[in-house]
Amino acid sequence: IDQSINKSTIMAKEEITLSQPLQRNLDTFQNEFWVSKEKLHEIIDVFVQELKKGLHDNDDPYQIPMNPTWVMDYPDGSETGDYLALDLGGTNMRVVIVHLLGNHKFTKVQTKYRLPDHIRTTRKREELFGFMAECLGKFLKEQNPDGIPEGKTFPLGFTFSYPTTQSKIDSGVLQRWTKGFDIPGVEGNDAAALLRDEIEKREIPIKLVALICDTTGTLVASRYTDPDTIMGVIFGTGVNGAYYDVVADVPKIHNQLPDDISLATPMLINCEYGSFDNKHRVLPRTKYDVQIDQESPRPGQQAFEKMTAGYYLGEIIRKILLEGYETGYLFKDLAQDSEGAKKLAKDYILDSSFLSNLESDDTPDLAESKKEFETKLSINTTPEERLYAKKISAFIGTRAARLSICGISAVCQKMNYRKCHVAADGSVYMKYPHFPERAAKGLSDVFGWDGIKEEDHPIKIVKAQDGSGVGAAVIAALTHARNVKGLSLGLKQN
């Protein structure tokens, strides 16, 4: 096992010493969570096979979906126009008006709306889509205090970051909910149509022109400003990646291609690789990963996401801490009927900010972590327990970062990309301490860049432009341009 990972990223606190049993226990976790170079190669080989299989057919609901998005042009930064974008995220919803100025430049105005807490699992789909339409209406009113000019319609790009089957650019049938969403009546239905209905009911002057995913938006927005970008990836509440392939390599759409789309036409593919290895052939799952999967609303789905995405990282450490408590390693004075014990037993009470905060605590006796345990779990900790939890966080965070780059490596291998930029967005990439360095180290291990400085790595993960807003706008602009030219934007209609 390569111990070097943690040397730079976990500051051992000289003043805190772990007892032998706790240290032994920690060593076991380190082994279990470490993904070696050899294992990364093994995973990437299977990943490449799965990417190809997904482009070939839709036969298997457990394979990577590899969804064609009907974005068939590369932006060149000259696109102009004003577009609305609506982004449904895990915890917030954003409405953005983007002014594309050409010359790779844009300006934007945005408002964030907090999603009502229960909405992830509401029983009424109208509540979610109605809420989105309401926010759009409110936003337009605020932006047009003197009233909306008669006859004006705003083109909208809808960022709906869940796997959808698109037969054309302005529709998307939800394949399955991810990231803890579980609202009946949406899977198997066109999410664009559901939103359109609610917009029409309220007579809001908006035309939904494109449905996109955050990864797709990230790629296109970053490419609008940086032509070296070949992939858009999200390391956030969920994980996923998107890249441009060519139609020739997407056999599953060949028998319904309109005449103006040739085999040489580029096709942006939303991989939806959060569902990589749903058959559990190669990912090194621990018993905690297995439990998280079994207890989730969609067992058997999103195997890769469940080990790497922000939505699950807090739950992994909670399970480990709970086990430590139940077996008598941790929190020895915590009474069984205490507030702390109850909180610790509560599913998903911790999110990835818990691990982030522990990992970034460099105070001598981990005083920040002490507060973190008190506020989030109502538990009084010893310095030793805090150091233990900090190290466990680093194992979980490092595993997530190293696994995350397998999707990037597989796409680069398939497309033979040797030197390029990968645009990354998402809370984990942007906020989780050391995640970018750990991911870069993972890529370096895979491609053998030992001794090359991170800034000189040939494949570089860079911070993305705001994909869900600007990307949706650029895609709406590309769609508009195709419409003007009378070009197809989807499968041949029978």
Provide the annotated active-site residues.
Answer: 161, 176, 214
Cβ atoms of 115 and 93 closer than 8 Å:
yes
Two tokens at 355?
């691990």
CA–CA gap between residue 319 and residue 325 (Å, rounded): 10
Two tokens at 357?
């905060």
63 or 240: whose CB is closer to ligand BGC? 240
CA–CA gap between residue 476 and residue 210 (Å, rounded): 6
If binding is defined by CB under 6 A, does position 66 make contact with ligand BGC? no
159 or 369: whose CB is closer to ligand BGC? 159
161 or 369: whose CB is closer to ligand BGC? 161
Q: How many residues bind ligand BGC (CB under 6 A)?
A: 17
If binding is defined by CB under 6 A, does position 175 make contact with ligand BGC? no
Binding segment for ligand BGC (CB under 6 A), chosen from 40-48, 213-221, 279-287, 452-460, is 213-221
Binding segment for ligand BGC (CB under 6 A), chosen from 209-217, 324-332, 369-377, 464-472, is 209-217
Minimum CB separation of residue 316 from ligand BGC in Å reads 17
Q: Which residue in the set 230, 234, 411, 475 belongs to the binding site for ligand BGC (CB under 6 A)?
A: 234
If binding is defined by CB under 6 A, does position 13 make contact with ligand BGC? no
237 or 465: whose CB is closer to ligand BGC? 237
CA–CA gap between residue 134 and residue 474 (Å, rounded): 24
Q: Residues 392 to 431: which contact ligand BGC by CB under 6 A?
A: none
Using only C-alpha atoms, what is the Rg of the chain?
23
If binding is defined by CB under 6 A, does position 305 make contact with ligand BGC? yes
Long-range contacts of 108-114 (CB under 8 A, 24+ apart): 108/466, 108/469, 108/470, 108/473, 109/143, 110/469, 111/135, 111/139, 111/142
If binding is defined by CB under 6 A, does position 198 make contact with ligand BGC? no
Residue type at position 437: E
If binding is defined by CB under 6 A, does position 236 make contact with ligand BGC? yes
Kindly give the residue spans of alpha helices, DSSP state H, lying in 57-201: 125-143, 191-201
If binding is defined by CB under 6 A, does position 238 make contact with ligand BGC? yes
If binding is defined by CB under 6 A, does position 63 make contact with ligand BGC? no
What is the CA 484 to chain-centroid distance, rounded? 33
Binding segment for ligand BGC (CB under 6 A), chosen from 93-101, 145-153, 207-215, 252-260, is 207-215
CA–CA gap between residue 406 and residue 400 (Å, rounded): 10
How far the first Cα of the chain sits from its last, in Å, is 57
Two tokens at 490?
């989807």
Cβ atoms of 239 and 494 closer than 8 Å:
no
Residue 148 vs residues 96, 107, 342: alpha-carbon distances, Å: 17, 20, 52
Binding segment for ligand BGC (CB under 6 A), chosen from 43-51, 80-88, 211-219, 431-439, is 211-219
182 or 384: whose CB is closer to ligand BGC? 182
List of residues contacting ligand BGC (CB under 6 A): 161-163, 178-179, 213-215, 234, 236-240, 272, 274, 305
